[in-house]
Amino acid sequence: MTSFLTVFLIFIGLSLMIVLHECGHFLMARFFGLRVDEFGFGLPPRLWGKKIGETIYSINWLPFGGFVKIFGEDGAEALINKEERGGDALDAKRSFRSAKPLKKALIVAAGVIMNFLFGWLLLWFVLVIGTPQALLIVDVREGSPAFHGGLMVNDVVTEMKVNYESLIFSPETGYGVEDAVQFINDHRGEAIQFRIQRGGEITESNVVPRVNPPEGEGALGIAMSGAGLTPQNPFSAVILSFKEALNITKAIALGIIDFIARIITGLPVEGVVGPIGIINLAITSGRMGLVYVVQLLALISLNLAVLNIIPFPALDGGRLLFVIIEKIKGSPLSIKTESFINGIGFIALLILMVLITLKDVSMLL
Instruction: Report the pLDDT value the prediction gives residue 171, as an integer from 0 to 100.
Output: 65
Instruction: Report the pLDDT value the prediction gives residue 291, as an integer from 0 to 100.
Output: 86
Q: Classify residue 101 by burial, with Cβ atoms within 10 Å: 0-12, 13-18, 19+.
A: middle
Strand partners, 48: 59
With beta carbons less than 8 A apart as the criterion, state whether 207 and 191 touch.
yes
151 compared with 360, residue with greater pLDDT: 151
CA–CA separation, 292 and 131 (whole Å): 8
Nearest to 196 by CA among 188, 207, 187, 185: 207
Instruction: Report the pLDDT value the prediction gives residue 197, as an integer from 0 to 100.
Output: 85
Q: Which contacts of 71-75 are long-range, i.e. CB under 8 A and separated by 24 or more positions? A: 71/34, 71/35, 71/36, 71/37, 71/95, 71/96, 72/34, 72/35, 72/96, 72/97, 72/98, 73/97, 74/335, 74/339, 75/335, 75/338
Average pLDDT on 117-141 reads 89
CA 269 to chain centre: 20
Instruction: Report the pLDDT value the prediction gives residue 84, as an integer from 0 to 100.
Output: 45
With beta carbons less than 8 A apart as the criterion, state whether 194 and 207 touch.
yes
Q: Which contacts of 208-211 are long-range, i.e. CB under 8 A and separated by 24 or more positions? A: 208/145, 208/149, 209/145, 209/184, 209/185, 210/145
Lowest mean pLDDT among 3-12, 128-137, 332-341: 128-137
Q: Provide the percentage of residues in the chain whose pLDDT is more than 70.
A: 91
With beta carbons less than 8 A apart as the criterion, state whether 259 and 272 touch.
yes
pLDDT in tens, 102-120: 999 999 999 999 999 999 9
Instruction: Report the pLDDT value the prediction gives residue 365, as an integer from 0 to 100.
Output: 66
pLDDT in tens, 223-266: 988 767 778 999 999 999 999 999 999 999 999 998 889 888 88
With beta carbons less than 8 A apart as the criterion, state whether 14 and 282 touch.
no
CA 348 to chain centre: 22
133 compared with 222, residue with greater pLDDT: 222
Q: Provide the percentage of residues in the chain whose pLDDT is more than 90.
A: 60
CA–CA separation, 19 and 111 (whole Å): 9
Instruction: Report the pLDDT value the prediction gives residue 278, as an integer from 0 to 100.
Output: 84
- CA angle, 197 as apex, 191 and 200 as ends, to 5°? 155
**pLDDT > 60? residue 86:** no
pLDDT in tens, 296-348: 999 999 999 999 999 999 999 999 999 999 999 999 999 899 999 999 999 99
pLDDT in tens, 19-32: 999 999 999 999 99
Average pLDDT on 139-158 reads 91
Average pLDDT on 132-148 reads 87
Neighbours of 277 (CB within 10 A): 18
CA 242 to chain centre: 15
Instruction: Report the pLDDT value the prediction gives residue 251, as an integer from 0 to 100.
Output: 92
pLDDT in tens, 167-225: 988 766 778 888 999 999 999 999 999 999 886 678 999 999 999 998 878 899 999 88
Instruction: Report the pLDDT value the prediction gives residue 83, as an integer from 0 to 100.
Output: 41
Domains assigned to the chain: 3-32+99-130+233-364 (no CATH), 134-227 (2.30.42.10)
Cis upstream peptide for 45 (omega within 30°): yes
Average pLDDT on 50-75 reads 91
- CA angle, 62 as apex, 29 and 118 as ends, to 5°? 50
Residue 23: which residues within 8 A CB-CB, separation 6 or more? 39, 66, 68, 114
Average pLDDT on 129-141 reads 82
CA–CA separation, 47 and 113 (whole Å): 29
CA–CA separation, 5 and 16 (whole Å): 16
